Amino acid sequence: MDWGEFLSRHLVWDQGEHVTLVGKTGSGKTNLAQQLLPQRDFVCAIGTKPKDETMLSLIRKDKYRRIREWPPPTVIGARSQRIALWPRFERPEDVVEQQRVIDAALREIFAAGGWTIFADELYYLCRFLGMARLFEVFWSQARSIGITVVGGAQRPAWLPLMAYSQATHLFFARTTDHRDVMRLGSLGGNDARLIADTLGSLRQYEFLYINTVTGDLLITKPEKR
Ligand SMILES: Nc1ncnc2c1ncn2[C@@H]1O[C@H](COP(=O)(O)OP(=O)(O)OP(=O)(O)O)[C@@H](O)[C@H]1O
Ligand SMILES: [Mg+2]
């Protein structure tokens, strides 16, 4: 399906529905996610790297406001807010502070409700910073309070299963890796063989889109933004 048509007419994405993107490095996950996010009103993107290109581009192109620590400045009556939560990371020991700041922010966001969390590096957050349990709470509970997680990872096995089972919208880039195909093919009661074959046949920057609620399956290729 043409990307423009997919985005404007096909994709029905309500607040509280999670999005999970998987694809090896350079497959176009961040590019895709950045084109979904304008549909949400309150977005907190989490920056985890010292030089985080995703954060820089959100700040430059989409006017995200950079903060080093939650909360963002209050704007009375704001209808939307775009925040880049990007804790200081200049020395290796800063990971301790990074962990503390992101953990505290996620807890506040959970309590507040209504936000979309953009976690472009879920592996780093879940495994390296040890936040898998916290994200599992978001994936499993956040729907009722209208929190959306948009998350990406390079390998399917790097994510907790809830990243798939609790997400409504899945985007997978090409892979022929046997273990990846097994993991992705087994999700959501879909036809494993069809998914495996499709994943292997995708071209550069194409994604298989799976809607776990409607059972929709289609291929689309985002434009480069
Ligand atoms: N649909 C597309 N058409 C053309 N170029 C694209 C497309 N999607 C992404 N690119 C380009 O490919 C490069 C990698 O894209 P992107 O950063 O989105 O990949 P990624 O999956 O997020 O990689 P990583 O896992 O390393 O973060 C970028 O330079 C981007 O501009
Ligand atoms: Mg990326």
Indicate the pLDDT class of residue 213, thresholds 50, 70 and 90: very high
User: Does CATH place domain 3-220 in 3.40.1160.10?
Assistant: no
Domain map (residue ranges) of the chain: 3-220
Residue 92's identity, in one-letter code, is P
120 alpha carbon, closest ligand = 2
pLDDT tens, residue by residue, 41-59: 999 999 999 999 999 999 9
Which residue from 31, 48, 61, 154 has its CB within 8 A of the most atoms of ligand 1, so it is best to mutate? 31
Q: What is the pLDDT of residue 75?
A: 86
Alpha helices by DSSP H, listed for the chain, are: 3-5, 29-36, 53-62, 94-112, 122-123, 132-141, 162-165, 178-185, 192-201
Q: What is the pLDDT of residue 157?
A: 87
3-state secondary structure of 213: coil
Which residue from 55, 204, 224 has its CB within 8 A of the most atoms of ligand 1, so it is best to mutate? 224
pLDDT tens, residue by residue, 178-207: 888 888 887 756 688 889 899 999 999 999
> Is residue 50 a contact partner of residue 86, using CB atoms and an 8 Å limit?
no
Q: Which two tokens stand for residue 150?
A: 């948009």
The Cα-based distances of 207 to 64, 94, 131, 133 in angstroms read: 26, 35, 27, 28
HSE-CB of 163 using CA atoms within 13 angstroms = 31
Mean pLDDT, to the nearest integer, of 150-167? 93
Q: What is the pLDDT of residue 51?
A: 93
From the CB of 124, is ligand 1 less than 6 Å away? no
Q: What is the pLDDT of residue 143?
A: 81
27 alpha carbon, closest ligand = 1
pLDDT tens, residue by residue, 108-154: 999 999 999 999 999 999 999 999 999 999 999 988 889 999 999 99
Q: What percent of the chain has pLDDT over 90?
A: 85
Residue bearing the CA closest to ligand 1, atom 25:
25
3-state secondary structure of 107: helix
From the CB of 222, is ligand 1 less than 6 Å away? yes
Q: What is the pLDDT of residue 224?
A: 95
The 10 Å CB-count burial string (b at 16+, else e) for 147-177 is: bbbbbbbbbbeebbebbbebbbbbbbbbbee
Residue 160's identity, in one-letter code, is P
Q: What is the pLDDT of residue 6?
A: 98
Which residues have their alpha-adjacent CB atom under 5 A from ion ligand 2? 29-30
Residue bearing the CA closest to ligand 1, atom 16:
28
